[in-house]
Amino acid sequence: MAVRHLIGSATKFSAYLCGMTRTTKILLGIANVLPLVLVAMFVSSFLMMPHGLDVNPNPDVFIFSLGLSFLSMALASAIGLGLFIYYLVHILKNPRLDANTRLMWVLIVLLAGIIGNIVYWFFQIWREDDDRVDHGYNN
């Protein structure tokens, strides 16, 4: 039941964003890059933690680094999952895609993860209204 509600919400959100303005597309593009920034934050905060037995760690630095690591990975995971669901719904509802192209995009988004989201955003959302671009879907 919760999965149906989640998919229904993603479908409504996708329908809401179908008539995207340029600003909305830019914000969605920023949301695509945000998990990469948060993972970089996780790595840097993890490297700030004192390692080894000979180091006498400062508890404040250790707790701050641990909290920052946890927060950045939790946010990256939540944003990544939300974008994954959004893009799957968008791919399935995109009228410009035929069945083979849908399958290709689903596999790209599924297997390439965040990079696949960015590629789909660039080719199918950012360039959506660009009449100069021939995507080759009408062949």
* 26-39 confidence digits (pLDDT tens): 999 999 999 999 98
pLDDT at residue 14 is higher than 80: no
State yes or no: pLDDT of 74 exceeds 80.
Answer: yes
Q: What is the dihedral of CA 84, 138, 131, 114, to 10 degrees?
A: 20
Q: Specify whether the CB–CB gap between 33 and 126 falls below 8 A.
A: no
Task: Say what the pLDDT of residue 12 is.
Answer: 59
Going by pLDDT thresholds of 50, 70 and 90, the confidence category of residue 105 is: very high
Would you call 99 exposed, middle or buried from its count of C-beta atoms within 10 A (0-12, 13-18, 19+)?
A: exposed
Mean pLDDT in residue range 82-100: 93
What does pLDDT average to over the chain?
80
Q: Where are the domains of the chain?
A: 2-126
The answer to whether residue 10 scores a pLDDT higher than 80 is: no
State the average pLDDT over residues 98-115.
93
Tell me: the pLDDT tens digits for 38-66? 988 888 877 766 665 456 667 777 777 78
| Local confidence band at 84 (pLDDT 50, 70, 90 cut-offs) | very high
